[in-house]
Amino acid sequence: MSSTRPTPPGATIYSVAERAGVSIATVSRVIQRPEVVSGATRQRVLDAIDELHYVPLGAARSLAVRHHEAHGLVLPELAGPYFAELLVGFEERAAELGQSVVLLLADTKRDVDRAVRQLSTRVDGLAVFASTVSAETVSRVRQGRKPVVTVAGGVAAAGLGTESISAENASSARELTEHVLAHGRRRVLFVGDPDLSSDTAARHDGFVAAHRARRRRPAPPVRIAFRENDGTEFAERLLAGEFTADALVCANDELALSVMTHLQDAGRDVPRDVAVVGWDDVMTARYVRPGLTTVRQPVADLGRLAAERLHHLVDGDDPADEPWVLPTRLVLRGSCGCG
């Protein structure tokens, strides 16, 4: 790939054994199960390790035990707090289980599938976020006997021997929308593209359900992407009169915040003129005025569960048929019209 010359030869289990005057088996034991070695020889070995600055070669161990003791995690990006929290939860639980985590960020790569195949070469299992990886590659990995868990992939991701883990979206979306309607809003817009992610799709489903329950016809979703500038652009169109709305249910907080701020800067009053709500409960949501009403997901728990399940799958568990769905919680602040 890159380097020409090999690593300069460091100490090995052999040099340590020689120096301590024992066999390599004993050195190995001192490292793996110190208690089975007599105190005296153990100390001699430890001294030798110290003097030679011995660092065991993980690859050699992995080869011998036929385990990488590492989990792969594929995330689309790391913007905003969502993915960071997911990663933290994953890493935390993985570490508790004695597994390293090898991280792969999809958005900066030319060829994600190649990178994932390469990754699968050095881990015991893979956690992939939603649709960052092609179904074909996932199934290749699966056929290569590596467990895969999908995070926030929706039902579509299940099957193929892949386990699915996600947060509850539809019913919280319904609850949130009902809350907005209960504030007396008549013209509620869903801002975000259901086709862009299964999370968004589920949220839109809940949005529609809430309207149906009140025998109201939901407006068609405003299909825009997730980022700040997408929100700004939408706000412009709204101000220009392209849409009429007295409430906006945005697919996530970044979107909601950029829309809300932009409307306020243009002289609109939130929530009086228009209510704005979002998803994720990012830090900014509690700093803006009014505070942003949103839905908090147990993101770190998603990560933890992914690591946990992956570990069990590597250990030989059969994949669960049913997806794992974690509960979410409404966070009411001022932007929806609440006092």
Partner DNA sequence: CTGTTAGCGCGTTCAC
Partner DNA sequence: GTGAACGCGCTAACAG
Please confirm whether the linkage preceding 221 is cis (ω < 30° from 0): no
Q: Toward DNA, which CB reaches closer, 45 or 310?
A: 45
In angstroms, give the least distance from the CB of 10 to a second copy.
4
* Among candidate residues 45, 40, 58, the one with its CA nearest the CA of residue 15: 45
Within 10 angstroms of residue 51's Cβ, the number of other Cβ atoms is: 12
In angstroms, give the least distance from the CB of 307 to DNA.
23
In angstroms, give the least distance from the CB of 250 to a second copy.
15
In angstroms, give the least distance from the CB of 117 to a second copy.
8
Q: Toward DNA, which CB reaches closer, 65 or 156?
A: 65
Q: Does 201 bind a second copy (CB under 8 A)?
A: no
Alpha helices, H only, 216-328 = 228-239, 253-265, 299-314
Q: Toward DNA, which CB reaches closer, 5 or 215?
A: 5
Alpha carbon distance 337, 183 (integer Å):
7
Task: List 188's β-bridge partners, or say none.
Answer: 247
Site for a second copy in 220-279 (CB under 8 A): 228, 257, 261
Residues in contact with DNA by the rule CB under 7 A: 9, 12-14, 21-26, 28-29, 31-32, 36-38, 40-42, 54, 56-57, 60-61, 63-66
Among 67, 186, 187, 272, binds a second copy (CB under 8 A): 67
Q: Toward a second copy, which CB reaches closer, 93 or 204?
A: 93
Tell me the window of 113-121, 164-172, 180-188, 323-331 that interacts with a second copy (CB under 8 A): 113-121
Query: Of these partners, a second copy, DNA, none, which one is at the site of residue 8 (CB under 5 to 8 Å by kind)?
Result: a second copy
Tell me the window of 18-26, 89-97, 127-135, 168-176 that interacts with a second copy (CB under 8 A): 89-97
In angstroms, give the least distance from the CB of 98 to DNA.
13
DSSP state of 293: B
Among 16, 19, 48, 91, binds a second copy (CB under 8 A): 91
Please give the structure tokens belonging to residue 122: 């050095």
Within 10 angstroms of residue 249's Cβ, the number of other Cβ atoms is: 30
Query: Of these partners, a second copy, DNA, none, which one is at the site of residue 37 (CB under 5 to 8 Å by kind)?
Result: DNA
Tell me the window of 193-201, 240-248, 281-289, 323-331 that interacts with a second copy (CB under 8 A): 281-289
Give the list of residues 6+ apart from residue 185 with CB closer than 8 angstroms, or none. Answer: 246, 247, 275, 337
CA 79 vs. chain centroid, Å, equals 11
Half-sphere exposure of 312 (CA within 13 A, CB side): 13
Give the list of residues 6+ apart from residue 220 with CB closer than 8 angstroms, or none. Answer: none
Q: Is 236 exposed, middle or buried (0-12, 13-18, 19+ CB in 10 A)?
A: middle
Q: Does 7 bind a second copy (CB under 8 A)?
A: yes
Q: Toward DNA, which CB reaches closer, 16 or 127?
A: 16
Q: What 3-state DSSP class applies to 251? A: coil
